[in-house]
Amino acid sequence: MNRQQNNGSELPQKWEKSQLQDALKLARICAARAARKRRIAAADREDLIQDILLALLQASAHFDPSRGSWGGFVTIIARRAIADHARRPSAPPSISLDSKEAAGILRSLAAPAHDPEAHLAMTRAADEMPEAQRALLRSIFAHRDIAATRAASNLSTATFYRDLQELRCWLRIMGASPCATRPTHRAATVSLRS
């Protein structure tokens, strides 16, 4: 019983309409200011507004009108939420393996081991597929890499990956499945069930 009373006392208080309007307005202003200073994207700015409002909702039970105004309280909580947001770890910078900067990275990766059985199995499976998927499979074997095949292709990125997905469907229909273990090289290996 005592535990329920403690949890009930920590619930946020109901806000008046003017308090809600002030909270929304000040959260947007503080988030916009932080976004300008820290060069935050629009989507992240919206996340920051949500973080401010959530922190405000959690701290609103501690608001005491005798100690200061509602606007001042909102601003202090917003600054705290912005500081917490800035301290959060961000995603590490990444580089696309399709970019020119990654050419050296791709060359440094281990070359795929040649598997003649997989090549024969794929050749047999290709005899039963439509011409578009057969051509894509030939191109993948010629380039020995999906990224190199994509770079050599004259298709748009979306069309290429849609065709690749259809090829994967055809290979699964014909009994090919991804290997249970991860390959140690960048080429995908498949096993054919008899």
Q: Measure Cα distances from 39 to 26, 42, 140 in Å.
A: 19, 9, 42
Asked whether residue 81 is domain-assigned, the answer is yes
Tell which residue, 158, 40, 177, has the closest CA to residue 118: 177
Query: Of 23, 53, 87, which residue constitutes the final position of a domain?
Result: 87
Asked whether residue 160 is domain-assigned, the answer is yes
Query: What does the DSSP 8-state code read for residue 115?
Result: -
Q: How many residues does the chain have?
A: 194
If one counts the domains in the chain, the total is 2
Judge if 124 and 69 occupy the same domain. no
48, 35 in Cβ contact below 8 A?
yes
Asked whether residue 80 is domain-assigned, the answer is yes
Residue ranges for the chain with pLDDT beneath 50: 1-9, 11, 180-194
* pLDDT score, position 80: 92
* pLDDT score, position 63: 85
User: E strand or H helix at 144, and its extent?
Assistant: none
Asked whether residue 166 is domain-assigned, the answer is yes
Provide the residue range defining the domain that includes 30: 11-87
Asked whether residue 142 is domain-assigned, the answer is yes
Contact residues for 56 (Cβ-Cβ < 8 A; gap 6+) = 23, 27, 74, 77, 78, 81
Asked whether residue 100 is domain-assigned, the answer is no
pTM confidence score: 0.41
Query: Of 42, 70, 87, which residue constitutes the final position of a domain?
Result: 87
